[in-house]
Amino acid sequence: MTDFFLLLKNELGLCVLLLFLLVMKISGRDNASFLLPAMQWLLLFNFVFSLLFNSGGRLFGGMFDTSPLLAFQKAILNLALYLSSLLFESWLRKSAHLAEFFLLTLSSLLGFFLLISSAHFLMFYLSLELATLPVAALAGFAPMEKRSSEAAMKMILSAAFSSAVLLFGISLIYGLAGTLYFKEVPAALKEHPLTWLAVLFLIAAFAFKLSVVPFHLWTADVYEGAPASVSSYLSVISKGAVAFVFVSALHKIFVPLKGQIQPVLLGLTLITILIGNLFALRQQNIKRFLAFSSITQAGYILFAISSLKAESFTPVIYFIIIYIFSNLAAWSVASVMSSSAGKENQHDYAGLYYRNRFLAVALVLSLVSLAGIPPAAGFFGKWFLILQGASAAKGIITVFVALNLILSLYYYLKWIWVVFQNTNAGSDTITPTRMEKTGLILCVAGILLIGFWGDLYRYIVELVKPF
């Protein structure tokens, strides 16, 4: 019985938080000044708790599968949610539906936790839906804003479409293999044209969630329309979770099809990185810019995944940790800027350095990290991703991927340059709250220090070994 609780402790922790929220909501104690600090502390506590007492095992007749590695992935997502609760404080305070916001994000996170642990296609599908639907509601979280409602509508329609395709793929697999258990599927899969179609459908569903080109079309619209906190949830937590699941799914289920899958993944990598870069070059709106930047980052993740080795878990997890810090910081600055006066365009950022040095430095460091320039952690993250990809791909593809790093410099440097531009564009003061400052300092510390923290990498390597 203790086993049951221990194995499910991450999910149960989230359920406790959800119950707490419900009780608070019903008892009417959902004012921001109480609930927000309470949630911040609870999330922090939940994160610390998620790092402890981790063990491996199966539950629910083998449908739920967990291990220290999977628990660590959940802890990472937990950390990301904790950071966002700090980083978007002023937006959250202003929002009239704070309790609902946390209810929805926590439900979605619960979905992702179950998704990570699923060992059965039914479980897989249900938890994916649980993870997606609340996000669509979140995207429409500013109902008075047309853009926000539009984003929600687009999100839910696209997600429904991709779910349909996924479900079709799963049914094909069931028809071919006669089982839905991950560990039984590889042996039961026969050489059949339909197998390949099913696999393609599954890959497309993953590609959609990771916003890999050409399944990315919803990304920029949704990111732009949704509030920054929601967009950051989509681009960090959702993307991270799906990347984790993608690696293990490829490793557990599609091993026999390795030779056929790799070229597909490489092809998707190439066009994702290229298109993401080319479109990011021209973006004037920071949210759209970050959307395309995150598409490009997904391309690099996909490059590491395309090596189709168990070791590719290590660089992906390592990169996601770094990506959380870098990307959340950038989104947070965008949110502060946007909520102070609805400023989202590049020229609004001109001379930010002279108006708020703290925000400017945080934004610049996060962009430096996203661009992969040392000493920021993003450099190390990219390095290991490319190293992993290069171990399986042809040299010319690696060259292409590395060349795109140069192309991306153009737009990251452009934004950095704008921040330092000496203009009198705006004299209004922009001040982040205390908690936002704390969160940004945490992010900056993460950006600057993770690369040198060799033990973290070694820890991940140790976790991945038994996998």
Partner 1 sequence: MIYTVLVLLIVLFPLAGFLFPALWGRSLFKKSAGPLTVVLMTFSFLLSAYFAYLYFFEFGYQQGAYRRFLFPDIPWLEFSGALAIRMGAYIDAVSVMMLLTVTFVSLMVHVYSLWYMKHQERYAAYFAYLSLFTFSMLGLVLSSNIFQMYFFWELVGVSSFLLIGFYYQKPAAAAAAKKAFIVTRFADVGFFIGILILSFSAGSMDFETILHKLTTPGSDALNTAAAQTFLGISALSWGAALVFMGAAGKSALFPLHIWLPDAMEGPTPVSALIHAATMVVAGVFLIARLFPLYAITVPGVQEFIAWVSAVTALMAALIACVQTDIKRILAFSTMSQIGLMMLSLGVAKYEAGPVPGYTASLFHLFTHALFKSLLFLCAGIMIHFVHNNSIWKMGGLRKYLPLTHLFFLAGCLAISGIPPFSGFFSKEEILLAAYRNYFPLYVLVLITSAVTAFYMFRMYFRTFWFYNLKGPTEKETEIEVPALIPLVLLAIGAVLGGFIPFGNFVTSDGHRMPFHFDVRFSLLPVILNLAGIFVAMWFYKTKNKRSDIVQEKAWKLYLLLSEKFYVDHLYEFITRKVIFQVIGRSAAWFDKNIVDGMVNLSGEATQYVSAAFRKLQSGKVQLYALYFLLAILALALITILK
Joined together, the tokens standing for residue 360 give 């400017």
Q: Which residues contact 135 (CB under 8 A, 6 or more apart)?
A: 104, 108, 155, 230, 233, 234, 238
Joined together, the tokens standing for residue 237 give 């937590």
Give the interface segment with partner 1, choosing from 136-144, 171-179, 322-330, 416-424 (CB under 8 A): 416-424
- Kindly tell me which residue out of 6, 12, 126, 165 binds partner 1, with binding defined by CB under 8 A: 165
One-letter amino acid at 80 equals: A
- Strand partners for 72: none
Question: 27 or 422, CB closer to partner 1?
Answer: 422
Distances (CA, A) of 302 to 25, 113, 305: 41, 21, 5
Give the interface segment with partner 1, choosing from 92-100, 106-114, 274-282, 327-335 (CB under 8 A): 274-282
C-alpha–C-alpha distance, residues 243 and 411, integer Å: 25
Q: What is the DSSP letter of 347?
A: G
- Kindly tell me which residue out of 57, 214, 258, 284 binds partner 1, with binding defined by CB under 8 A: 214
- Kindly tell me which residue out of 161, 178, 183, 433 binds partner 1, with binding defined by CB under 8 A: 161
CB-hemisphere CA count at 13 Å for 353? Answer: 13
Q: How far is the CB of 176 from partner 1 (least distance, A)?
A: 16
Is 200 a binding residue for partner 1 by CB under 8 A? The answer is yes
Is 466 a binding residue for partner 1 by CB under 8 A? The answer is no
Is 415 a binding residue for partner 1 by CB under 8 A? The answer is no
Give the Cβ contact number of residue 217 at 10 Å: 13
One-letter amino acid at 137 equals: A
C-alpha–C-alpha distance, residues 336 and 237, integer Å: 20
Joined together, the tokens standing for residue 41 give 């502390």
Question: 12 or 405, CB closer to partner 1?
Answer: 405
- Distance between alpha carbon 439 and the CA centroid of its chain, in Å? 18
Q: How far is the CB of 231 from partner 1 (least distance, A)?
A: 17
Asked if residue 209 lies in contact with residue 162, where contact means CB atoms within 8 angstroms, the answer is: yes
- Kindly tell me which residue out of 6, 373, 425, 441 binds partner 1, with binding defined by CB under 8 A: 373
Query: Among candidates 88, 95, 97, which has minimal Cα distance to 433?
Result: 88
- Kindly tell me which residue out of 9, 74, 120, 154 binds partner 1, with binding defined by CB under 8 A: 154
- Kindly tell me which residue out of 264, 425, 430, 441 binds partner 1, with binding defined by CB under 8 A: 264
Q: Which of residues 296-335 bind partner 1 (CB under 8 A)?
A: 311, 314
> Which residues bind to partner 1, rule: CB under 8 A?
146, 149-150, 153-154, 157-158, 161-162, 165, 196-197, 200-201, 203-204, 208, 214-215, 217-218, 221, 260, 263-264, 267, 275, 278-279, 281-282, 311, 314, 373-375, 379-380, 383, 386-387, 390-391, 395, 398-399, 402-403, 405-406, 409-410, 413, 417, 420, 422, 452, 454, 457-458, 461, 464-465
